[in-house]
Amino acid sequence: MRLLTYIALLAVIPALLTAARTHETNPMSSQEDFEEGRRLYRINCGVCHGMEGKTGRGARLARRTYRHGNSDAALFDLIEAGVPGTDMPGLWLDEDDIWRILLFVRTFAEKASEVCNASGDVAAGKRVFDSQGSCLACHTVGPRGGRLGPDMSFAGVQYTDQQLRDALLEPSREVTDRYETVRLVTAEGERVEGVVMNENSYNIFVMDRSENIRSFRKAELQSLDLPEESLMPAYGDLLSKADLDNLIAYLCSLQGRDEEVAQ
């Protein structure tokens, strides 16, 4: 009976999930498979994720936990189907080749020296995030928070502790396009500050400090400034060293998948 169930599952699973996957765990393990996986990774993945899985516009792969799941099956499905809404396409490769790529990608985690890891007090850091640091005014964790800064629900898998520390101390060092700062003055003299939601030759679309989404005709503005600095204040002056350490510890603790973050 158990065998029959297993056979039935084998028949159903590929039909429901993807066209290709017939295993729940990676069946590849040989050195030849690993070498082939490395070759395929360099051809198909390296341009965005970096040859070591550490650099590039794609997600950082040199980590121990992944946002969309850590199981072989979840990662296989992600590689095969891609991630909608991002530049990550699905791969049109044979099942065995996707498993080989995954075999290679798994070695990144073993070499991941830069993980999010801080020695502070997580509970105290949460208090800093929620109240003292006013972080929730602009960032979300789970269902709570503001919209002007990046979602921090998965900070622990998206950033290293060093990246978080750099961003807190020097927020303007690196500002992603999605949160580009804009300061403009309208024809009527109103000063507007916020982040750019979209821009073309004629219009600019801004989420202002009050989270209103507003559109402006560029030709009608008195001035338009896109300073290469973040709206976020530098926290070196605002928080004690202990508070900073605790805050980073809290952010590193945000590792969960959607259902774990939701409150």
Binding site for another protein (CB under 8 A): 15-19, 81, 83-86, 134, 136-137, 140, 143, 146-147, 151, 197-198, 200, 202-203, 205, 207, 209-213, 215, 233, 237-238, 258, 262
**CB 114 → another protein: shortest distance, Å?**
27
By beta-carbon proximity to another protein, the closer residue of 177 and 202 is: 202
Instruction: Indicate the SS3 state at residue 234.
Output: coil
By beta-carbon proximity to another protein, the closer residue of 56 and 82 is: 82
| DSSP string for 108-121 | HHHH--------S-
User: CB-hemisphere CA count at 13 Å for 122?
Assistant: 9
Cα distance between residue 141 and residue 61, in whole Å: 22
Residue type at position 128: V
**CB 160 → another protein: shortest distance, Å?**
24
| DSSP string for 45-91 | THHHH-TTSSSSSSPP-SSS--TT--SHHHHHHHHHH--TTSS----
Query: Residue 193, class by beta-carbon neighbours within 10 Å (0-12 exposed, 13-18 middle, 19+ buried)?
Result: middle
**CB 79 → another protein: shortest distance, Å?**
13
Task: State the DSSP code for 17.
Answer: S
Please, what's the largest Cα pairwise distance for the chain? 78
**CB 238 → another protein: shortest distance, Å?**
5
By beta-carbon proximity to another protein, the closer residue of 62 and 79 is: 79
By beta-carbon proximity to another protein, the closer residue of 85 and 189 is: 85
**CB 260 → another protein: shortest distance, Å?**
14
Angle 19-67-105 (CA atoms, 0-180°, nearest 5)?
Answer: 65
**CB 251 → another protein: shortest distance, Å?**
18
Token pair belonging to 86: 């991002």
**CB 192 → another protein: shortest distance, Å?**
13
By beta-carbon proximity to another protein, the closer residue of 81 and 185 is: 81
By beta-carbon proximity to another protein, the closer residue of 110 and 259 is: 259
105-130 exposure pattern, b = at least 16 Cβ within 10 A, e = fewer: beebbeebeebbebebbbebbbebbe
Query: Residue 207, class by beta-carbon neighbours within 10 Å (0-12 exposed, 13-18 middle, 19+ buried)?
Result: middle
By beta-carbon proximity to another protein, the closer residue of 29 and 71 is: 71
